[in-house]
Amino acid sequence: MNFNSLYSHAKLQMHLCMLFIISGGTNPERDRSIEMASNGNGNASVATGKGSGGRNGLPKIQTQKRQNAICHDDTAPTVKAQTIDELHSLQRKKSAPTTPLDGVQGAFANLTEEERHKQQLQSISASLASLTRETGPKLVRGDPARQSETPRVSHAPDHHFAPTFSASDSSLKFTHVLYNLSPAELYEQAIHYEKGSFITSSGALATLSGAKTGRSPKDKRVVRDETTEDELWWGKGSPNIEMDEHTFLVNRERAVDYLNSLDKVFVNDQFLNWDPENRIKVRIVSARAYHSLFMHNMCIRPTAEELENFGTPDFTIYNAGQFPCNRYTHYMTSSTSIDLNLGRREMVILGTQYAGEMKKGLFGVMHYLMPKRQILSLHSGCNMGKNGDVALFFGLSGTGKTTLSTDHNRYLIGDDEHCWSDKGVSNIEGGCYAKCIDLSREKEPDIWNAIKFGTVLENVVFDEHTREVDYLDKSVTENTRAAYPIEYIPNAKIPCVGPHPKNVILLACDAFGVLPPVSKLNLAQTMYHFISGYTALVAGTEEGVKEPRATFSACFGAAFIMLHPTKYAAMLASKMEKHGATGWLVNTGWSGGSYGSGSRMKLAYTRKIIDAIHSGKLLNANYKKTEVFGLEIPTEVEGVPSEILDPVNTWSDKKAYKETLLKLGGLFKNNFEVFVNHKIGKDDKLTQEIVSAGPKF
């Protein structure tokens, strides 16, 4: 039977079925033209035997009367829904019941689900409350686009809304709270509402951070009050730019008013620090799904039980980055302001949508809070061997910190931020924030494979049809990034904690070519080079000549520290001495001459050096001391040519080597001048000890 015949046959079936229904059942006259035959299941069938032809040569239709005289196809069960909205509600089932809270003490313990939701909204309303009004905003849970799903309204505790002459328009509206959404839900929000959001071919979410594609350190300010006046590092060399309490409150009010004016806000309640005894509860209120997913990845994700019992956060971020600050406000120098108030435990972001401001802002908070508990906060990578030996890796951009700390033979505890307590080390974060420029599967397979569903890709360029990312393209920015949960790394250690470190490795990319490939440091030298935070960048000069440019960043993360660098250094030395850790200075830069005449240290040699440190073999090597810096260098390392271990051997021009060595030593001395006058404790004995560990000439 051809297509036309089938189509005619189907139409005839439909007409006969309708005729049967309209007639109210059987009819003797009609039944003489339509032969009734039961096929056992109540369905109509086609009579195909001889003499069964119908009009126009079509086969006869055999049908059967059904109960209530209705003819229909019941080969599959019908959907249990009366409306399309009901059908859509069946598509999404409620989350599984959360872990019972038997014996749990906290704000939300022993409450019904409705009561917990109400208290969560009350807590969020309190966070979003204006300082000039009695109550917080009126909140409801859910997406405003799905009005039928919106539950009842909740206000701040013990307050009811009653319009008065002083009421504002914002107090008359509801703000929808999208609370701790999953990555899938955030994908939907971003793609539907945020221009510039796309799903790439690998499944990652590509987003844009707007005009700012990096941090704005000159626009970051900290409230200077009676407490922080004496505690924080202020003045020359400090990253802490001061502001007063009043100006902070002006900016806070601006951010809160902006967030409350929106139809919906995203709220993340999460943790910092994998050490459960010293973790910090953080709340992030933001206007973009991109920001919510970014922080979902970068902070530690709470379990269902932990979320139910979350209570009041220890620190809150108000990210109103799409809205500018008022440039006429005191202390403001641009439309961007990132403001930190350690007394109120709050952070306000205005005028920048770059998500890294949230990550690094919280890192600064940890640099303030953790030392108060005698816990050292560190800007470092951290991995652990199969025998439990832990190593910390410090290094600025381009030193190889990510490459060397990511070792398939060792477990990754974290790639960027850590704490060292009396129990050992712990990762501060729940994710990784990797650079993507020039990324390839061959060079960084772990990062490449981590860029999948759930990952945020910032400011990358991709093919408009295939959505394949071009990691070489710098059209938007060179600072392209990927933010993904640490679980996406195959050898990540979960939970991200480990015992006390055995090795502290300071990485430097010395483009001057005068530092040894590896040096063993005593405690004073470790503190000196930790405070210095040295590496060298290559910058173009006139007439095509290129020379190295020294870069120093205190504690290998000057932009994020809150206290004076010597305080972190003293804590580091104390913990190293107590737990028997060894300090190492590893040069991943140039050998045989400065940049332009020498050559970059081979990665294979550096890996051999790192392996010898991990195994403990380098501790038993023979050492000799270098001039100027007074570094102890091994005479041999397995797998590394002995002649390159002392940089003077690799320079053909010995005079040029000595001049370059003295030049670098002078740069170190000049940089350290800002730290010389700072005293630790009642006297400056420790400071003098650190200074004496520097270059001598």
CA 125/CA 136 separation, integer angstroms:
5
Active site residue 397: yes
Catalytic residue among 138, 215, 279, 410: 215
Pair type for strands 390-394 and 501-508: parallel
Asked whether the beta carbons of 606 and 517 are under 8 A apart, the reply is yes
CA 173/CA 85 separation, integer angstroms:
25
Active site residue 85: no
Going by C-alpha positions, the residue among 501, 492, 297 that lies closest to residue 414 is 492
Active site residue 416: yes
Element (H, E) at 446: helix 445-450
Dihedral sign of CA atoms 642, 648, 651, 654 in order: negative
Asked whether the beta carbons of 539 and 660 are under 8 A apart, the reply is no
Active site residue 652: no
Catalytic residue among 416, 502, 526, 614: 416
Active site residue 379: yes
CA 505/CA 381 separation, integer angstroms:
10
Active site residue 401: yes
CA 73/CA 624 separation, integer angstroms:
91
Catalytic residue among 283, 291, 301, 360: 360
What 8-state DSSP symbol labels residue 78?
P
Beta strand segments in 120-204, E: 138-141, 174-179, 198-199
Catalytic residue among 220, 296, 379, 502: 379
Active site residue 215: yes
What 8-state DSSP symbol labels residue 649?
G
- Give the long-range contacts of residues 93-96, CB within 8 A, separation 24 or more: 95/304
Active site residue 207: no
- In sequence order, what DSSP letters do the residues of 319-366 get, joined into one string? EETTS---TTSTT--SS-EEEEETTTTEEEEES---THHHHHHHHHHH
Neighbouring residues of 281: CB distance < 8 A, sequence distance ≥ 6: 269, 270, 271, 310, 311, 312, 313, 314, 315
Catalytic residue among 220, 283, 367, 401: 401
Positions annotated as catalytic residues are: 215, 360, 379, 397, 401-402, 416, 481
